Amino acid sequence: MRLLLVEDELEIQSFVKQSLMDAGYEVHAAEDGNTAALLAAKHVYHGMIVDLGLPDRDGIDLILQLRKSGVTSPVLILSARRSVDDRVKGLELGGDDYLTKPFAIAELLARMRNLLRRNSPHTEDASRLRVRDLELDMLKRRATRGDEVLNLSPQEFVLLEYLCRHAGRVVTRSMLLTEVWGMRIQPDTNVVDVHIYRLRGKIDTEGREPLIKTLRGIGYVLKGS
């Protein structure tokens, strides 16, 4: 998959590019809005990572211009600004995502994957979610592992649902906070970890293969099929 990275700080650009390439993406990098616009006219990108503070124009203007010219690929916005522009909020509603600097590479990768997947059409039975021997009945809000019915609280069910939908990929704590709890906060304490810990206690009971894996300093992965 080909990505466009628009970032004027070369130090940041280089390690982001490297990490994306390590993750298996093909990356084109641009240092300013005009180069980015030219590249976007020449190639088709599956996703874009755009810094808001470009030397020649505002990143938002670039995104809006690309959108106008028919580019629909999802955008991950990088921002060193303190307040979130209303237009960024608009883009967020439109399915794009934003990340404030400084960010964890893992966070960036996780969000980018999330965006790319969101954009690809997926054929999924809306009422049932299956990951290995884990099955979620979305209508009855009931989860089973194998033959065993899991006794989950509504909150835990939503959390598990999110993990299942992102099975096989890293989800970070802040992704969970935003998507599951709907808040952009950075708690001083390990509140998210405790939720995962409890969920794990109900799913990965003794004698079963552990499904939820912790990536230290990064987040969690639910093992995919």
Dist. CA 113–CA 132, nearest whole Å: 21
Dist. CA 24–CA 181, nearest whole Å: 31
Dist. CA 133–CA 225, nearest whole Å: 9
| Side-chain-facing half-sphere of 18: CA atoms under 13 Å | 6
- What minimum distance in Å lies between the beta carbon of 161 and other proteins? 15
CA nearest to 96, candidates 87, 106, 83, 104: 87
Q: Quick check: 203 and 212 in contact, CB under 8 A?
A: yes
Residue from 2, 118, 184, 213 binding other proteins (CB under 8 A): 184
Give me the 32-71 binding string for other proteins, x by CB under 8 A, dash otherwise.
---------------------x------------------
Query: Would strands 142-145 and 148-150 be described as parallel, antiparallel, or unpaired?
Result: antiparallel
Per CB under 8 A, which of residues 88..147 are in contact with other proteins? 100-106
Residue from 83, 120, 123, 225 binding other proteins (CB under 8 A): 83
Residue from 125, 188, 206, 209 binding other proteins (CB under 8 A): 188
15/72 with CB nearer other proteins: 15
CA nearest to 72, candidates 93, 47, 51: 47
Quick check: 80 binds other proteins (CB under 8 A)?
A: yes
Size of residue set near other proteins by CB under 8 A:
42
**What is the contact surface with other proteins in residues (CB under 8 A)?**
9, 11-12, 15-16, 18-19, 22, 53, 80-84, 86, 100-106, 155, 177, 181-192, 194-195, 197-198, 216-217
